[in-house]
RNA sequence: GCCCCCGUAGCUCAAUGGACAGAGCAACUGCCUUCUAAGCAGGAGGUUGUGGGUUCGAAUCCCGCCGGGGGCACCA
């Protein structure tokens, strides 16, 4: 917002250094910390160090010489319009903005852009974010929720940062797990179908647990039990074979049961306000993946060992000319001619590049699949896709339970829907004592917004490379560094504006901040002004946490401001108008941040 | 054996080369006839696992060690 002034000063510094033979290092600017005032700072340590190395300048120690240079530069610059003061402190040059002017510029920008405040300039690049890849015939658990929330927030961030963004889901709708559920359904539960989308999804998950116990080798089996188990397994294998050959009955059974899972997935995505653009199904990619194998063999990227009774493999390190073991060797086609996960991911990547013209491809996948994805990216590079360098794996630590890893097999999972329901119950339980007057018709909706807000924020406030041990009391906490804390800041801002009523309508952009601002107002304006660069950083680094941390900081400062400064009781009308405008800007910025975090902003709570 | 990630306050986590390492939770002290206390203010809590190195400057970069987690071709 002060780019022009900054440019002018940079030019002056450069001129001064050239004239005085000072080897100026690159100028890096940062906000002045702990000042209670706004401004930019740059350090001269590097310059002083350069000078010392070249044997020039005074023989003073670096910090002292840096301070000398800062003082000389300060004297040289003189006064600049829009900059109230320049200080040389501890080797830093601090430029303080004129407060009234700074506040005016920030407010003007927020209130002119509104929902677009912080939006980055349009980039000519198309990004695809792939997330939400649960297996069908199971139920959506809290680990899937972390994946989906991270993916959605990342998509929102890159989209808001200016990239054309495509959201892609990739459900795993084939494999032994799927067949296992179909087998037990067909054998024991045919014709049954619980009411309710989520109930049906959970029922399938339970069938899987039951089937697993029937098919797994038990300790101290009697010969009869062993025979029984082997018979079951033979039935399951037969069903897999029939599925493979396209048997009408089995395929129909598959489509029906799969649809139950997909309905549940769509319902969960709807709850999380996720609108997928593209659905890739593993079963569909499977067909396509068979054709790429021949192409990779023809290009001499893959090695066909089938004539020797082996598989089709890619010796990745060898093909890349690496002498040290890095990507190793991986199989593309089993010796029985069936494809693997890697084969499908390669085919899918090709589809993304060729059909969807994706320039940048982000995979939100569990960190344990890091090697696998690095292998896939390396093969894409060998294949000659220029986008291979812009494939990025956003790995995240897995979500486990206090009693250990989740296991769909054993039914030891925490289902997303159960947690979400519990969240709503807990909000409703405290609503009567904590909330103001909320119309009965709104209660459920607001409880949903707050409950999900708590859950979503708990998934975002931990950096993605960290594992999470899921504790429902922590995830659904409403106090302190949580979603509801941020939502409450929004509600309070809204409440002030609502009560102000008339004044808001009359508030003009011409409002002046030409009065002595309190420390809280200064901090609030400062943080609002940093929103655009925070969006950029979070999107560039693919880190939702950066935005989550910002939203908390902004809410935190707003809460302090709220207590310290009573807006509606401000007597001077001019000052009150300025403060109302500040509240409007804060409300807007919190709203924009919450939207990026996939958390709803309730009007009351 | 090789590769990746992590080690920061009692606990859960921030801060990725800059000025004084910050929050929340737990515990402690205050603040509700006030724009909603899902909040605010205050004190307490740290030789950033450890030993070296690079740098004017290191929680951050490099090397060693200790401790924890994950992964290493016909699973996904």
Identify the pLDDT of residue A143.
Answer: 94
Which of residues A66, A97, A128 is at a domain's end? A97
Q: CA A301 → C1' B3, Å?
A: 23
Q: Which nucleotide is nearest to A602 (CA to C1')?
A: B38
> A257, A262, A250: which is closest to A170 by C-alpha?
A262
Query: Is residue A380 assigned to a domain?
Result: no
Check whether residue A44 has its CB closer than 7 Å to nucleic acid strand B: no
Enumerate residues 6+ apart whose C-beta is below 8 A from A234. Answer: none
Identify the pLDDT of residue A153.
Answer: 97
pTM assigned to the model: 0.95
Check whether residue A229 has its CB closer than 7 Å to nucleic acid strand B: no
Residue range A504-539, pLDDT digits in tens: 554 455 578 999 889 899 999 999 999 999 999 999
A64: which 2 tokens? 């002292």
Q: CA A327 → C1' B7, Å?
A: 27
Q: In what order do the strands lie in the sheet with A360-366?
A: A278-279, A164-169, A126-130, A360-366, A391-396
Q: Estimate to the nearest angstrom the gap between the alpha carbon of A381 and the chain centroid.
A: 26
Residues 75-94 of A with CB under 7 A from strand B: 89-92, 94
The predicted model gives A17-21 an average pLDDT of 91
Identify the pLDDT of residue A259.
Answer: 96
Q: Which nucleotide is nearest to A374 (CA to C1')?
A: B4
The predicted model gives A315-327 an average pLDDT of 88
B chain positions with any atom within 7 Å of a protein CB: 2-6, 12-15, 18-20, 23-26, 34-41, 55-57, 69-76
Query: Is residue A310 assigned to a domain?
Result: no
Check whether residue A53 has its CB closer than 7 Å to nucleic acid strand B: yes
Q: Which nucleotide is nearest to A603 (CA to C1')?
A: B36
User: What is the number of alpha carbons within 13 Å of residue A172 lying toward its C-beta?
Assistant: 17
The predicted model gives A223-230 an average pLDDT of 94
Identify the pLDDT of residue A302.
Answer: 96
Check whether residue A495 has its CB closer than 7 Å to nucleic acid strand B: yes
Least confident of A167-176, A385-394, A431-440, A513-522: A431-440
Give chain A's mean pLDDT. 92
> A176, A235, A181: which is closest to A211 by C-alpha?
A181
Query: Is residue A299 assigned to a domain?
Result: no
pLDDT of A34 above 80: no
The predicted model gives A236-252 an average pLDDT of 94
User: What is the number of alpha carbons within 13 Å of residue A5 lying toward its C-beta?
Assistant: 21
Which of residues A97, A127, A145 is at a domain's end? A97
Check whether residue A461 has its CB closer than 7 Å to nucleic acid strand B: yes
Beta-strand pair A468-469/A399-400: parallel
For residues A440 and A528, the answer to whether their CB atoms sit within 8 Å is no
Q: CA A8 → C1' B56, Å?
A: 27
Whether A183 and A269 map to the same domain: the answer is: yes
Q: Which nucleotide is nearest to A94 (CA to C1')?
A: B19
Check whether residue A158 has its CB closer than 7 Å to nucleic acid strand B: no
Q: CA A601 → C1' B2, Å?
A: 49
Q: Which nucleotide is nearest to A48 (CA to C1')?
A: B56
ipTM, two decimals: 0.95
Q: Estimate to the nearest angstrom the gap between the alpha carbon of A376 and the chain centroid.
A: 23
Query: Is residue A28 assigned to a domain?
Result: yes
Q: How far is CA A530 from CA A38, A50, A68, A162, A533, in A?
A: 11, 32, 31, 17, 6
Band the pLDDT of A502: cuts 50, 70, 90.
low
Q: Which nucleotide is nearest to A431 (CA to C1')?
A: B38
The predicted model gives A441-465 an average pLDDT of 93
Q: CA A552 → C1' B63, Å?
A: 38
Say which DSSP state A367 is in: G
Q: Which nucleotide is nearest to A62 (CA to C1')?
A: B56
Query: Could you tell me the CATH number of the domain that includes residue A42?
Result: 3.30.1360
Coil/strand/helix, residue A217: coil
Identify the pLDDT of residue A486.
Answer: 97
Identify the pLDDT of residue A242.
Answer: 95
The CA-based dihedral angle spanning residues A373, A375, A381, A382, taken in that order and rounded to the nearest 10 degrees: -160
Per the structure, the count of domains in chain A is 2
Check whether residue A568 has its CB closer than 7 Å to nucleic acid strand B: yes
pLDDT of A563 above 90: yes
Coil/strand/helix, residue A461: coil
Q: Which nucleotide is nearest to A329 (CA to C1')?
A: B73
- Tell me what percent of the residues of chain A surpass a pLDDT of 90: 79
Which of residues A97, A121, A148 is at a domain's end? A97
Residue range A402-411, pLDDT digits in tens: 888 898 888 8
Q: CA A559 → C1' B8, Å?
A: 28
Query: Is residue A296 assigned to a domain?
Result: no
Residue range A178-198, pLDDT digits in tens: 999 999 999 999 999 999 999
Enumerate residues 6+ apart whose C-beta is below 8 A from A504. Answer: A497, A580, A584
Check whether residue A592 has its CB closer than 7 Å to nucleic acid strand B: no
Check whether residue A604 has its CB closer than 7 Å to nucleic acid strand B: yes
Identify the pLDDT of residue A4.
Answer: 86
Band the pLDDT of A503: cuts 50, 70, 90.
low
Whether A182 and A268 map to the same domain: the answer is: yes
pLDDT of A1 above 80: no
Residue range A49-92, pLDDT digits in tens: 998 888 876 678 899 999 999 999 999 998 888 899 999 999 99
Range of the domain at A242: 175-275
Band the pLDDT of A573: cuts 50, 70, 90.
confident
The predicted model gives A435-448 an average pLDDT of 85
Q: CA A250 → C1' B14, Å?
A: 52
Check whether residue A23 has its CB closer than 7 Å to nucleic acid strand B: no
Distance CA A533, CA A548 (A): 14
Enumerate residues 6+ apart whose C-beta is below 8 A from A222. Answer: none
Query: Is residue A563 assigned to a domain?
Result: no
Identify the pLDDT of residue A56.
Answer: 76
Q: CA A44 → C1' B32, Å?
A: 51
């Amino acid at each position: 917002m002060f780019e022009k002034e900054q440019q002018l000063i940079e030019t002056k510094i450069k001129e001064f250094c050239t004239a005085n033979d000072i080897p100026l290092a690159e100028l890096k600017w940062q906000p002045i910390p702990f000042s209670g005032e706004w401004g930019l700072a740059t350090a001269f340590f590097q310059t002083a160090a350069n000078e010392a190395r070249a044997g020039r300048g005074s023989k003073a120690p670096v910090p002292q010489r840096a301070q000398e240079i800062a003082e000389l530069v300060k004297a040289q610059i003189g006064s600049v319009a829009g900059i109230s003061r320049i200080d040389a402190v501890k080797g830093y040059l601090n430029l303080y903005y004129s407060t009234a002017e700074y506040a005016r510029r920030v407010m003007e920008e927020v209130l002119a852009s509104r929902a677009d405040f912080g939006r980055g300039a349009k980039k000519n690049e198309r990004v695809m974010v792939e997330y939400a890849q649960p297996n069908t015939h199971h139920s959506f658990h809290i680990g899937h929720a972390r994946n989906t929330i991270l993916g959605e927030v990342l998509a929102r961030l890159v989209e808001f940062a200016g990239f054309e963004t495509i959201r892609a889901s990739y459900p795993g709708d084939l494999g032994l797990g799927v067949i296992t559920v179909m087998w037990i359904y067909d054998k024991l539960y045919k014709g049954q179908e619980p009411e309710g989308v989520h109930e049906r999804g959970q029922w399938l998950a339970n069938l899987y647990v039951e089937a697993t116990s029937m098919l797994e080798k038990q300790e101290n089996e009697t010969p009869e039990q062993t025979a029984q188990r082997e018979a079951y397994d033979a039935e399951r294998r037969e069903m897999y074979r029939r599925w493979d050959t396209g048997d009408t009955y089995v395929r129909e059974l598959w489509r029906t049961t799969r649809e139950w899972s997909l309905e549940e997935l769509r319902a969960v995505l709807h709850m999380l306000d996720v609108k997928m653009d593209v659905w890739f199904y593993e079963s569909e990619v499977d067909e396509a993946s068979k054709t790429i194998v021949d192409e990779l063999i023809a290009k001499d990227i893959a090695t066909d060992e089938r004539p020797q009774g082996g598989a089709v493999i890619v010796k990745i390190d060898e093909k890349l000319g690496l002498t040290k073991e890095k990507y190793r060797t991986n199989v593309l086609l089993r010796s029985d001619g069936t494809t693997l996960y890697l084969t499908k991911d390669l085919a899918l990547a090709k589809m993304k590049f060729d059909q969807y013209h994706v320039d940048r491809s982000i995979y939100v996948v569990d960190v344990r699949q890091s090697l696998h994805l690095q292998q896939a990216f390396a093969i894409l590079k060998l294949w000659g896709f220029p986008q291979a360098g812009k494939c990025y794996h956003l790995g995240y630590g897995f979500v486990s339970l206090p009693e250990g890893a989740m296991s769909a097999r054993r039914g030891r999972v925490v289902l997303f829907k159960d947690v979400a329901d519990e969240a709503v119950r807990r909000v409703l339980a405290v609503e009567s004592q904590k909330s103001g007057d909320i119309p009965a018709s709104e209660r459920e909706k607001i409880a949903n917004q707050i409950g999900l807000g708590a859950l979503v924020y708990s998934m975002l406030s931990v950096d993605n490379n960290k594992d999470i041990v899921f504790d429902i009391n922590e995830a659904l906490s409403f106090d302190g560094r949580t979603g509801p804390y941020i939502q409450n800041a929004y509600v309070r801002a809204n409440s002030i504006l609502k009560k102000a009523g008339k004044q808001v309508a009359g508030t003009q952009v011409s409002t002046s901040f030409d009065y002595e601002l309190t420390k809280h107002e200064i901090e609030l304006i400062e943080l609002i002004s940093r929103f655009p660069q925070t969006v950029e950083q979070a999107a560039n680094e693919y880190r939702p946490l950066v935005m989550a941390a910002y939203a908390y900081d902004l809410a935190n400062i707003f809460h302090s401001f709220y207590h310290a400064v009573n807006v509606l009781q401000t007597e001077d009308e001019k000052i009150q108008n300025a403060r109302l405008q500040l509240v409007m800007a804060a409300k807007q910025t919190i709203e924009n941040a919450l939207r990026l975090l996939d958390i709803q902003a309730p009007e009351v709570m």
